[in-house]
Amino acid sequence: MKSYLSFLYLILFYFTVYDCKPPALNNACDPSSKSFLELLIVKNIANDRSPSCIPYFDRFETNFLSYGAFLGGSPSDIYSAAVANGKIYIGGLFTQLAATTGGGAFVWSDSAKPIGSTYCPQLNLYDENSVASGTISEAVSDPDGNLYILGNFTHVQSFPRRNIAKIKPNCQVDLEFDARLNDTSAVLYDLLYLEGRIFFSGSFQTSTGALTNYPTPTLRQHVASVNAITGLMDDWAPNVSGVDVRCMETDGTFIYIGGGFTAVNSNGAGNLGKLHKDNGATFYSFMDTNDTVNAMFIRNGVLYVGGLFSSLNASTVTRSKIAAIDLATNTVLPAFSSLTIGGTAVYAIACFQDELYIGGEITSPREGLIKTDLNGNLLTNNYSIGGTYQIVYKLSIVDEKLYAFGFFESVRSEPRNHIFQLDLKSDTVTTWDPKFLNPNSFSQGVAIKLKENVIFLGGGFGAIDTRQRNYLAELDAETGVPTDWDPNPNDLISKLTVSGKKIFVHGQFTTIANTSRQTMASFDLETKTLLGWNPIFPAASIEAMLVENDAMYVGGNFTTVNSTSVNRLVKIDTIEGNLDSSFNPNPNNLIRSLQLQGDELYVVGQFTTIPNAANFLASVNRNTGAFIRTHTQTFTGFSAYGSYISDGRLMMSGQYQVTAPYNGFGLTFYQIPDLETITPSSTFPSTSEFVRSIDQNQTKVYLGGNFANFGGKVRNGLFSLNRNDFSMNEWDANLSLGSTVYQVIAHGNAVYAFGNITSVNRKYRAGFVKLDTESGNSY
């Protein structure tokens, strides 16, 4: 639909201005000419993204960008939600929202905002081993604009790719490139592109198994090379003995390696080595250090190395964590001889013009980041890295900008969470800030230019564009981006509902919108004004809120409302929050779900009387609460959780076993209003699996909860039934094992699932997902 609208806009724009153009103007690159307008239409209709003086408007073609809910940097629970008026409302146990890109993100080079566009879709890096975000340690590009990424991941854009992948200039995974690396539990550190080959390094070795089994088992010792087109491993196989290879640099012929190793090709080598790009088996005598090397950089025949070492050349030359080696003579240069670096280690080196930037776990002469000339003389620039830790782990330079990654919270008193951008010409910290959720370790963090207006960021951040939102938030339903509304309750939101232009919320809070409220509040969603509605319920005591006109039915485990004794089910007004004293159903236990049809309120919960005998389910009069009827089934087990009315039939779900008139678990169906049993097509395998929430569209019913399968089919937390006969269909959201869905909402052409969710279809997520109603594919 959006593509159609864009096309229509271009056509209208073309015919609006075409007749106003002088016919003499015919320069295809002149926006004032007819030729420019004609090519503009052709380029965009043909979906041509190639570089050109003719713009491609897809930057404005937005995709849904999935933001997640986080607490302390980890995915957290969304307990209740609503979708209405073009917005998504979520409540739960979270204090942050962030775009769930995984550890690799495409951002606009000017704003640092995550890209939510078909122009450059996100990679959605995922690690199925940890059921969490994938991470990136390094990335490089080739002359054709392809991007190669290295890190700890198992899936990229849902495609299986372990630890290394190739990304095309359109930001899509290149499916031709597949190195098929094994799960060796190795740490992968560095990456080089050279003459159609990809060299990479890490801690893999014989003891951790074959690096790949395709086409045959292949062992490699800390370094390896694959074809840049296919990803297939070639026969370049140096024998590096020791712990790992952490960094690599090349002069075009030789590849220099650094890390924690003791031998190269069976010859003694101390943490530094020299390899030929074509013949990896030859030993070349080279410099050594007395401790680990973490970083390398070559300029004008000089190799700059940084790490933990204090000496080189068999301990005959002392240097403090950084040194310069003349590659022509294989000698240590005098540079850095007078520089003493305090702290643990140098982790990163970058060079701009004749100046070096040196980052690490450094305490002196500057915290985290120092700047020197090429001779190792300390320059006066002080970046005042601040925070609980002041560590810079990785450095990248793109278009005269330095990108610093690490574990810090500020730079020159400007708040920056684990990344900042420095303008190298002016030596000023820019306003550019992708707002990382989490820090990068010493092996993670890279910035690289993918195309003119796109920067790729890699690291361990998991999510970006972090925004503080405490327990309650509003997002745009089309783009997924959080709005500016920030009601800021001081504690958990456990239940919310939207009715018309109002949102009603309940939880454990005592203040919201800087106003005292005792667990309940209501807002006008047009003006965002906190309303006077103020009923008093015990904290987190409400399980169900059902609004109709000016009345709200409330069910839960409370026994007082507005200081009045009541039992678990009440009716209050939506203006003041006063109790309706004429409504008194008096259930003897917890109420979890409410449905209203006609004059009957259908009540589901853990009760056995309401006040007549009724096991889990009954209908009462909507005005008085007087008992009307219950079912005739025989139940054993725990309790009921949810309910839903569909086409004159009521579904009830929970943790229970049905023993009559049929055997089954956890999901039952009834005709209404008489509550006669309908035989189900499938049930759960036991009372340990159950549904928490149900919703439907024109053809399907969607059920979310705590389960791993239904009807003999694997379904983690979410499945679908056909609406006409409640038979199970093939719709599958592919949530990860262990997912819990607290609320499911079918709205328009999408299904939203909220709960304890960390992935969907091998994409990293946090708290909720948006899914296609027909295919189950995630947005």
* Position 13 pLDDT exceeds 60: no
Residue 347 lies in a domain: no
Q: Torsion angle of alpha carbons 565, 570, 573, 575, nearest 10°?
A: 70
Determine, yes or no, domain membership for 10: yes
Asked whether residue 698 is assigned to any structural domain, the reply reads no
- Token couple for 85: 């008026």
CA gap 138, 512 in Å, rounded: 44
280 near 237, Cβ under 8 Å? Answer: yes
Q: What is the CA radius of gyration of the chain?
A: 31
The residues near 131 (Cβ < 8 Å, ≥ 6 apart) are 736, 737, 738, 758, 759
**Is omega for the bond preceding 365 within 30 degrees of 0, making it cis?**
yes
Per residue in 365-412, pLDDT (tens digit) is 999 999 999 999 999 999 999 999 999 999 999 999 999 999 999 999
DSSP-derived 3-state class of residue 17: helix
Q: What is the pLDDT of residues 100-149, one digit of tens each?
A: 999 999 999 999 999 998 899 999 999 999 999 999 999 999 999 999 99
Instruction: State the average pLDDT over residues 29-36.
Output: 58
**pLDDT at position 25, please?**
45
In this prediction, residue 681 carries a pLDDT of 87
Residue 20 has pLDDT above 80, yes or no: no
In a domain, 573, yes or no: no
Burial track 519-556 (b if 16+ CB lie within 10 A, e otherwise): bbbbbebeeeebbebbbebebbbbbbbbbeeebbbbbb
Query: How far is 689 from 695, CA to CA, in rounded Å?
Result: 18
What pLDDT shows up at residue 86?
95
* DSSP annotation of 646: E
pLDDT at 118: 86
Residue 626 placed within a domain: no
Q: How confident is the model at residue 47 (pLDDT cuts 50, 70, 90)?
A: very low
The pLDDT of residue 79: 98
**Cβ atoms of 518 and 512 closer than 8 Å:** no
Whether 12 is covered by a domain: the verdict is yes
Tell me the whole-structure pTM to 2 decimals.
0.90
Instruction: Give per-residue pLDDT as tens, 230-271.
Output: 999 999 999 999 999 999 999 999 999 999 999 999 999 999
Taking the CA atoms of 89, 92, 94 and 95 in sequence, report the sign of the dihedral they define: positive
DSSP state of 60: G
C-alpha–C-alpha distance, residues 767 and 90, integer Å? 10
**Is 701 a residue whose pLDDT tops 50?**
yes
Please count the CA atoms within 13 angstroms of the CA of 625 that sit on its side-chain side: 21
pLDDT for residue 28: 54
Average pLDDT over residues 152-162: 97
pLDDT more than 70, % of the chain: 92
Q: Specify the pLDDT at position 662.
A: 86
For the cut 70, the answer to whether the pLDDT of residue 428 exceeds it is yes
Q: In the beta sheet, which residues pair with residue 415?
A: 410
pLDDT of residue 440: 87
Mean pLDDT of 454-460: 97
Asked if 779 contacts 63 with a C-beta cutoff of 8 angstroms, the reply is yes
Query: Which DSSP string do the residues of 673-711 spell out, in sequence order?
Result: TT--EE--S---SSTT-EEEEEEE-SSEEEEEEE-SEET
The CB-side HSE value for 366 (13 A sphere, CA atoms) comes to 22
- Percent with pLDDT over 90 in the chain: 89
Place of tokens 């799960």: 183
Q: How confident is the model at residue 30 (pLDDT cuts 50, 70, 90)?
A: low
pLDDT at 441: 87
In a domain, 55, yes or no: yes
C-alpha separations of 430 from 167, 348, 433 in Å: 28, 21, 8
Say yes or no to pLDDT of 472 above 90: yes
Residue 52 pLDDT grade (very low, low, confident, very high; cuts 50, 70, 90)? low
pLDDT band at residue 442 using 50, 70 and 90 as cut-offs: confident
DSSP of 718-752:
EEEEETTT--B-S----BPTT-EEEEEEEETTEEE
CB 223 within 8 A of CB 275: yes
Confidence of residue 329 (pLDDT cuts 50, 70, 90): very high
Mean pLDDT of the residues in the chain: 93
Assess if residue 522 is contained within a domain: no
Long-range CB pairs of 155-163 (<8 Å, 24+ gap) are 155/124, 155/125, 155/126, 155/127, 155/128, 155/762, 155/763, 156/123, 156/124, 156/125, 156/126, 157/121, 157/122, 157/123, 157/124, 157/763, 158/124, 158/761, 158/762, 158/763, 160/762, 163/188
DSSP state letter for 206: G
Strands 591-597 and 493-499: unpaired
Tell me: pLDDT of 46 over 90. no
| Sheet of 132-133, strand order | 132-133, 126-127, 155-156, 159-160
Confidence of residue 637 (pLDDT cuts 50, 70, 90): confident
d(CA 532, CA 232): 67
Higher pLDDT, 324 or 441: 324
Whether the pLDDT of residue 590 is over 60: the answer is yes
Structural domain containing residue 55: 2-60
Check: CB of residue 295 under 8 Å from CB of residue 351.
Answer: no
pLDDT, position 56: 47
Number of domains in the chain: 1
Kindly indicate the confidence band of residue 43, based on its pLDDT and cuts at 50, 70 and 90: very low
